[in-house]
Amino acid sequence: MHPAPAMDEADVLFDAPRRELVCRLTRLTGSLEGSMATAVPGLYLHRITCPGGPHHALQLPIFGVIAQGSKRLLVGDQVYDYDPLHYMVSSVDLPVSGKVAVGSPTEPYLGLRLDLDVEAIGALMRDVDPPPSVQNEAPRGLYVNRLGDTLLDGVLRLLRLLEVPEDIPVLAPMVKREIFYRLLMNGQGAVLRQLVQKDSHTQRIARAIRLLREHYVRPLRVEDLARQAHMSASSFHHHFKAVTAMSPLQFQKQLRLQEARRLMFTSDVDVAVVAHQVGYESPSQFSREYSRLFGSAPLRDKRRWMRDGMAGQQVRH
């Protein structure tokens, strides 16, 4: 587990910027429940008053900041907690389970995410002299780190641009470049540096993840993925688990089950048909693994989702 450290004296210096972050997100999100895109490409804002149960999703490469509330992420067997004192970076696509916590009904969860631009980070790497990396293996593809004043300042300047839309085309790319620079140069910047470093272990695993996403329905052959990544099967398995906190088979299983859940929630397709569509030959095995991941059997899960959705519509209207 990766707990967030307690506040120390230095945190007091950041009270004013953090208050500004809360105020700006409160004003920008209004009565929103959920997430919204902004005029800054790749920047999304979040406001949640009724978190509900764990949310399962494929976490794309992002930089995330919380202004109010907290969040717990489960990646494989790893647990990550972060709050307004910390930020989160995901450098590769990862199946995750996340649960948001709010302080009270009058203090909603407030946060933002910025998509990581791999091309921009790669170009930046050519212009800077990053600290040397001492890691011999691929680092974990997700981490939580301390939110310092310089990084928070960049986040605030990006949000301020939303109030001056005509400045966004010119200034937003510059501010985003600065944020990426801060992420590259900090203590865990090696995670991003490996992602854009040609033929690094992380880059090879990222390619394998893309192949898994594209062909998750097919039977998994680790040897084929290892060959594509130019690794031995044992080395590939080791580095894949180092990055994702799960084996290739566990990763594929989560991709299949998350897609099955999406299909069930958005259509009237029979459970057995959904199971077959995502690559399961045995409906009973599908139901067992679905229940293990989501906490209830497929049909019961769908009924609960429909009931909660109807209740939410009644509250909103």
Sorted by where each begins, the domain ranges of the chain are 9-196, 201-246, 253-316
Q: Read off the pLDDT band of 13 (50, 70, 90).
A: low
Look at residues 117, 130, 242 and name the one whose alpha carbon lies nearest to residue 186.
Answer: 130
In CATH terms, the fold of domain 253-316 is: Arc Repressor Mutant, subunit A (1.10.10)
**Concatenated DSSP letters of 67-84:** EESEEEEEETTEEEEE-T
pLDDT value of residue 136: 56
Taking the C-alpha atoms of residue 300 and residue 314, their distance in angstroms, rounded to an integer, is: 21
56 and 144 in contact (C-beta within 8 Å)?
Answer: no
Place of tokens 């202004």: 67
State the average pLDDT over residues 148-176: 97
| CATH code of the region 9-196 | 2.60.120.280
Q: What is the mean pLDDT of residues 200-214?
A: 93
Rounded CA separation 289/297 (Å): 9
Q: Give pLDDT, residue 187.
A: 67
> Fold match between 9-196 and 253-316?
no
Task: Tell me the HSE value of 19 on the side-chain side, using a 13 A CA sphere.
Answer: 5
Tens of pLDDT, residues 112-137: 999 999 889 989 988 887 666 555 56
Instruction: Say how far apart CA 239 and CA 252 lie, in whole Å.
Output: 16
> 245: which DSSP letter?
S
CB 70: neighbour CB atoms within 10 A? 19
pLDDT of residue 315 exceeding 70:
no
Task: Render pLDDT for 249-273 as a digit per residue (tens, 0 to 9).
Answer: 999 999 999 999 999 999 888 999 9
Partner residues linked to 107 by β-bridges: 104
Rounded Cα distance, 315 and 317, in Å: 6
Chain segment 282-306, per-residue pLDDT in tens: 999 999 999 999 999 999 999 988 8
**HSE on the CB side for 175, CA within 13 Å?**
24
